[in-house]
Chain A
Amino acid sequence: MNTTRGFTGRPRAARPGLPPGQYDAGDDWPVLSAEVTPQIAPADWSFRVGGLVAEPRTWDLAAARRLPASGYAGDIHCVTGWSKFGVRFGGVSLDAFLDAAGPLPSATHAVAHAHTGYTANLPLADLTGGRAWIVWEYDGRPLAPEHGGPARLVVPHLYFWKSVKWIAGLELLDHDEPGFWEQNGYHARGNPWEEQRYSGD
């Protein structure tokens, strides 16, 4: 072990729920999008599920809101090192959208697309079973544009670059196809508990 002379670090307050190499961002919620924040009116937002599905489907915000309400309350983890505890997102479980479109048995992966053109790839198994949401509320309020509003994907058990802001669609595939950061050296899956930050981790 290469100890650093004179480095003691923060007090070792046990913080259950903090993945390896992460720190608690407290009240901060850093914005790390690599592109210009788009100004999308709620009326102009839409979400499409296509690719390997029985029936491609598209929802606008009003139609999405008519699906059974669901939400995520818990922690999120960014690959740059911060984790944020006790966040509350409100929206609809991604299962509700996927069930309506009907994934074909051959579908194994998905590429999530943003209205900006940003993409992230995910195994379908990470998007189903109550582990992913399309959300438009944060702490009971409309999601701010810089955090992905009108609506974003939230997949909280993976590093947060997978939780695509300004979500526009989900394309189901029978193979893995790297997204934006994944083409730029980042890990294909991004599990914070295994510290899968970069390709090869």
Chain B
Amino acid sequence: MTVHANTAAELLHQNREAHPQKAAYLCGEDVLTHQALAVEAARFANLLRARGVGPGDRVVLALPDSFGSVKAFLGAMLLSACPVPVHAALPREDVAFILMDSGASALIAPEDSPAMQAARDVSGLACVLPCSLGGPWGLGDFSGGFAAAPPSPDAPGFMLYSSGSTGRPKGVPHAQADLLEPARGWGGGVLGIRERDVFFSASKMSFAYGLISSVGLPLSVGATAALLPGKPGPAELFAAITRYRPTLFFCVPTLYAMLLRSYCPAQGDDLSSLRLCLSAGEALPEGLCRQWALQTGVELLDSMGSTEAFNLFLSNRPSQVRCGSSGQLVPGWEARLVDEAGADVPDGVPGDLRARGAGTCPAYWNRPDKTAESMLPGGWLRTGDMYVRESGFYFHRGRSDDMLKVGAHFVSPVQVEEALREHPAVLECAVAAMLVDGLVRPCAHVVPAAGAEPGTRLAAELLRFARERLEPQQCPVRVLFVDELPRTSTGKVQRFRLRQL
């Protein structure tokens, strides 16, 4: 069996030797050099070891993107533990689920955060560490040297959680070395990343896309990345781009639409530093792709990847952008489009996309049922996305299941329906995709309860009701009242018949 060196140790060493005083990360007014990053990550590894964390242990990081989150992620990797970055704003019960599901030994989160409260709901945590944006208190007391061992090939190197159709997120473990796979085909072959690039991602490190663009890609070439801790709106994103002058900007279609709708060069929005804008997470509408380039003068490249792949396997290429398409195969990847029987379909016929390449997740964490559905024999990943291929370009044609991809998040209609059914005026409901402004949004199809009066007032009331109970991306943007829901002969609701795409 091949023994791989410790990926974090290699990356940190290589950058510290090549350009110690260069900025690795920018956050707020502060700069973290490659030298300081190497020292601080080593300190973090020593701190975790002193607190009882060992190789293979899962370390859940519920941290905003910041110096603290990068130090923690790389520190845990140096120790050959398994960092599990989750969204900093994840509700308490979701963090508790992930702590239990992953069998975590450690939780690192800001003091007084919902994640810290979740630590009280689970047992077995050896280490609960409060951590501010800069890092945990007392980190400087630990040695800045750490002799990292190669990771065990059997233990996960890092793990991300991906939403599931039933609402139970699935752990997606990856080997340490997978962190660098995106730098080969997508980073090197498509984006042409180089040391003098400055990366800036609106997607957080708890998403594969954010971890790739804020950690994997920039560290692989010794570049600089800017980090934004909060939930960025258009104004904050423009301010950050003007301030940090990134060359590459990574964002999702929903936010690109909002950015375009707020773009005011006359008010000081300055995108002149950007050489490319990248989009992933959900299909980029054709008009948005074109208008972005027209209005800002910067090319917007749509790509398609997944947490399971920890990579982008379809992507447009600079100067060859085809708006409305997720692009062409990324070097090193293979793709198949298949019909329901699993047979390849010809160009022009929609098929279910399957992808194969290096660095994919071999199995979900403790979920053999879901693994059998998605990780197919021969190393193929089932994506659940329908595509049409024409002359090497891939065009998204929706999902092959009931899941919605909204604002780059997977949304299960089941959870939204459950929340709405708690309202006394709702007898039955089904949630399906509708296009607003070219982007997929949840639409609620509601059968009103006896005595309830369907109309504008009730629709507005249900939208508000949903917002009090659900995550932003899960909230229906529209309520339609119907007499009955379409069903199969066995009574199963046919959500696909309600889609308005």
Whether chains A and B associate is no
Interface residues of A (CB under 8 A from B): none
Interface residues of B (CB under 8 A from A): none
